[in-house]
Structure 1
Amino acid sequence: MRIVITGGFGFVGVQLAAELLRRGSFRGRPLTGLVLADRFVRDGLPVTLDRRVSVVEGDLLDSLDEVFAEPVDAVFHLASAVSAEAEADFDLGMRANLETTSALLAAARRQGEAAGPVPLVVFSSSVAVYGSDAALPLRSPVTEATLPTPQSSYGTQKYVCEQLIADYTRKGFIDGRVARLMTVAVRPGRPNAAASGFLSGIVREPLAGIPATCPVSPQLRVALASPRATVEGILRVAEAPRGSRPGELTGRLPVNLPALTVTVAEIMSTVRRVAGDDVADLVTFAPDPAVEAIVGSWPSHFDNSRASTLGLHADSDFESVVLQYVADHRDDVAPGTLTVIETALHRS
């Protein structure tokens, strides 16, 4: 079983790689090779020390021949230009999100038509495919049957890719699966160019003792999922057999991964409760209409029924999300803050 993860050195890519290596198998077959393909390669990551892992470095559009030099059984296509990045640079978004995905699908098709395995292609789409249109207001809660009317270039590009994957699957060129990701929080490391990146920043930076700015209203509602829940969701969508019974994937519709709905104010009150006033007070509010226009166009309430049939459920509350981050990234939390959190947990 040879698996490729595009965007393999991104945060979700590394988390997914680690989980696949930990499991050691996929769809009942031993994992023999895991290819991490990315424009930017990071040295010293534990996943790269595993003998089953190889690396393809460079722009994916220029690297597909190397990726498919040996038969590929499954591709987790995570690579993309993120939301604010694609909105600011239309041509970059079209190349990174649409043209690259189209080229990857064509390469996967060629493999199957050349008597190789018909690959599984798992595409990470986004809640950004949805939006409220003046002629068709977005109704709540959102389901997979809700018509996407994206209000950003990023959401449009993701939606077009979803349709390509559905048609390639209909034609038998690939076995395509689409998981629509909620905003993943709390992400570790440095901020990225995602419009929703502040939702991690207003937790991550204060916990590290660093001031942070929130560019949206405290009343804004958002749909979130923890890193662990996101990786579990991607893998469950990938491994689900096709069929009509519970636990099976029906049709070619995407799966909206389960969402935890919270307001920004609730996020901050959780940080205050878990880590104390000094930490929460490191966050200041400075409205940025461009950011709020993008993030505010995304729905926040979802019917998670389709995901539930696969055994997937939303995070229980935002406190569990914060504590997950603290448990997984202790070295990124200021020592004094870590002591406060652990003391409070011990008392409870």
Structure 2
Amino acid sequence: MKILITGGAGFVGARLARTLLARGTLAGQPITRIVLSDQFPLGPHLADLAADARVEARTSPLLAQCEALRDEAFDGVFHLASAVSGECEADFDLGMRSNLDSTRALLDALRSRVQAGAAPTRLVFSSSVAVFGPEDAHPMPEVVGDDTLPTPQTSYGIQKFICEQLVADYTRKGFIDGRSARLMTVTVRPGRPNGAASSFFSGIIREPLAGETSVCPVAPETSHPVASPASTVAGLIAVYEASREAYGGRTALNLPGLTITVQQMLDALARVAGPEVRARVSFQHDERIAGIVARWPRASSAARANALGLQADASFDDIIRQYIADHQGHPTALKGMAG
């Protein structure tokens, strides 16, 4: 079985690749090859993936790779590559190119295989909770569900929603076997802050654990659904392995999220790592970030994913403990917990 992971050098993509390699199979088939496509090379922290004989890395923007993909057979695709929310607001053309144009080019490459006589490739598209937003004609409910009307209020959310519809239509036409899963905000992400408006949801945990200060740009009562890296990857795999009937139609589904406030996140940090670690977080309002986050859902439900056996993380304490366990032995990630 040959699998393509776009955005494969990213955090979620790399974790997905490691999980699949450890499993050895997907949908009952042995995995023989995983192609990691990304605009960035596999760094030293991904040396284990680079050393695996089953892994091939391809480094260039996805849009530049799609023409060649017309001549290559894949059994499965996880399409994770994306410009992030803050980047898309700051640079409209970047968002359209990286999110919309690249997705259509990828879908057309897979369509050309079918038109040449191949069977449709199964594809999982990673959409986002950012497809939901407040709209005068359709107010956003307190809890967004699988059947809530998406009315995105950011360019990133619009691009994700358009791509959901493309995946649905290419599936309707028989060009792919597509499924779209709306990811909740994934935390705790390692590394440095990125251009995502949601980056602080990781930063207020990651930096204090590393002994650094962190500034939270939104109010403590800000509520949002989040998910751990492990539960996110488990959700992507479950969506891939679900039958068409179990998945339930062509529209996107929500992956489970733990609804939590920023204050509750920091309370969990104090319980797990100690009050001195929590004390490294301060609040400083950022109108740009707060304005984006204010247009995102406060809570979510995931009935269709629940029917596949998926559940939200039990607690944010567990999410923090997962990050700590993942980084045992790291030279700097947990130095703020020393002593």
**TM-score w.r.t. structure 2 length?**
0.96
Aligned pair partner of 1:84 in 77, 83, 86: 86
| Distance in 2 separating the partners of 1:165 and 1:148 | 16
Describe how 1:199-218 pairs up with structure 2 within 5 A: 199-218=201-220
Q: Which amino acid aligns with 1:291?
A: I
Q: Which amino acid aligns with 1:284?
A: S
- Write out per-residue CA displacement over residues 140-185 of structure 1, whole angstroms, 9 at most, x where no aligned residue: 3211111000000000000000001100000101000001000000
Describe how 1:297-316 pairs up with structure 2 within 5 A: 297-316=295-314
Say whether the 8 Å CA contact 2:37–2:58 is kept in structure 1.
yes
Aligned pair partner of 1:261 in 255, 259, 262: 259
Residues 102 and 268 (structure 1 numbering): CA distance in 2 closer, same or farther, change over 3 Å?
Answer: same
Aligned pair partner of 1:236 in 235, 238, 259: 238
Say whether the 8 Å CA contact 1:4–1:37 is kept in structure 2.
yes
Helix, strand or coil at the partner of 1:79: coil
- Write out per-residue CA displacement over residues 178-220 of structure 1, whole angstroms, 9 at most, x where no aligned residue: 0100000000111111100000000000000011110000010
Q: Root-mean-square deviation (CA), in Å?
A: 1.2
Q: Which amino acid aligns with 1:51?
A: A
Describe how 1:1-348 pairs up with structure 2 within 5 A: 1-44=1-44, 45=46, 46-243=48-245, 248-330=246-328, 331=330, 332-335=332-335, 337=337
| Distance in 1 separating the partners of 2:283 and 2:336 | 24
Say whether the 8 Å CA contact 2:165–2:251 is kept in structure 1.
no
Q: How far 1:304 moved relative to its partner?
A: 2.0
| Distance in 1 separating the partners of 2:24 and 2:153 | 40
| Distance in 1 separating the partners of 2:335 and 2:19 | 28
Helix, strand or coil at the partner of 1:224: strand
| Distance in 2 separating the partners of 1:21 and 1:275 | 32
| Distance in 2 separating the partners of 1:251 and 1:338 | 50
| Distance in 1 separating the partners of 2:215 and 2:336 | 22
- Write out per-residue CA displacement over residues 92-119 of structure 1, whole angstroms, 9 at most, x where no aligned residue: 0000000110111000100111122311
Q: How far 1:274 moved relative to its partner?
A: 1.5
Q: How far 1:285 moved relative to its partner?
A: 0.6
Q: How far 1:281 moved relative to its partner?
A: 1.0
Runs of 4+ in 1 over 2 A off after TM superposition: 65-70, 332-336
| Distance in 1 separating the partners of 2:194 and 2:70 | 29
Q: Residue 344 of structure 1 corresponds to which residue in structure 2?
A: none
- Write out per-residue CA displacement over residues 277-307 of structure 1, whole angstroms, 9 at most, x where no aligned residue: 2211111111011111111211122222111
Q: How far 1:337 moved relative to its partner?
A: 0.9
Say whether the 8 Å CA contact 1:221–1:261 is kept in structure 2.
yes
Say whether the 8 Å CA contact 1:119–1:174 is kept in structure 2.
yes
Say whether the 8 Å CA contact 1:56–1:67 is kept in structure 2.
no
Q: How far 1:134 moved relative to its partner?
A: 1.7
Helix, strand or coil at the partner of 1:327: helix
Q: Which amino acid aligns with 1:307?
A: A
Residues 29 and 218 (structure 1 numbering): CA distance in 2 closer, same or farther, change over 3 Å?
Answer: same
| Distance in 2 separating the partners of 1:307 and 1:141 | 15
Q: Which amino acid aligns with 2:16?
A: L
Q: Which amino acid aligns with 1:220?
A: T
Q: Residue 342 of structure 1 corresponds to which residue in structure 2?
A: none
Q: How far 1:313 moved relative to its partner?
A: 0.1
Q: Which runs of 5+ in 2 are unaligned?
A: none
Helix, strand or coil at the partner of 1:162: helix
Q: Which amino acid aligns with 2:267?
A: S
Helix, strand or coil at the partner of 1:20: helix
State percent identity of aligned pairs. Answer: 52
Q: Which amino acid aligns with 2:227?
A: A
Helix, strand or coil at the partner of 1:148: coil
Q: Which runs of 5+ in 1 are unaligned?
A: 340-348
Deviates more, 1:231-240 or 1:25-34: 25-34
Q: Which amino acid aligns with 1:98?
A: L
Say whether the 8 Å CA contact 1:237–1:255 is kept in structure 2.
no
